[in-house]
Amino acid sequence: MKKTIEIMDYDDKKTKIVIDNFEKVVKIKIEVKTGDEILKILYKDYSEKEFDSSNCRLTDYFDDEYYIYDTTKKIDYISNWEKRISSYGYDLKTEAK
């Protein structure tokens, strides 16, 4: 099964990422560096893939990181996370309640 996820850069421009074999995904982590989202995927075979919303970041200021999907902890925040309006617009604390 395929799943499409959009990540944003610092200017809220969206980039579509198609994840093949979503059933083999264990974790999806989002890192935000200088306002750009980086999607990191861990698969059941321990392989990893990374997708960066930016191709020209000049500086790497660490803003945040969080998991939006984790089968080991029964976390699936993807649908609520996709409603954010900016790369800074997701509040994991709200999800954790």
Give residue 94's pLDDT. 53
Q: List, for residues 67-83, the tens digit of each pLDDT value.
A: 999 999 999 999 999 99
The answer to whether 42 touches 27, Cβ cutoff 8 Å, is yes
**How many domains does the chain contain in total?**
1
> Does the pLDDT of residue 52 top 50, yes or no?
yes
The answer to whether 5 touches 25, Cβ cutoff 8 Å, is no
Q: What is the value of pTM for the model shown?
A: 0.89
The answer to whether 67 touches 60, Cβ cutoff 8 Å, is no
Report the mean per-residue pLDDT for the chain. 91
The whole domain housing 34 covers: 3-84
Give residue 20's pLDDT. 94
Type of residue found at 34:
T
Give residue 58's pLDDT. 78
Secondary structure string (H, E, C) spanning 44-79? CCCCEEEEECCCCCCCCCEEEEEEEEECCCCEECHH
Q: Per the domain annotation, does 90 fall within a domain? A: no
Mean pLDDT of 45-71: 91
Q: Per the domain annotation, does 76 fall within a domain? A: yes
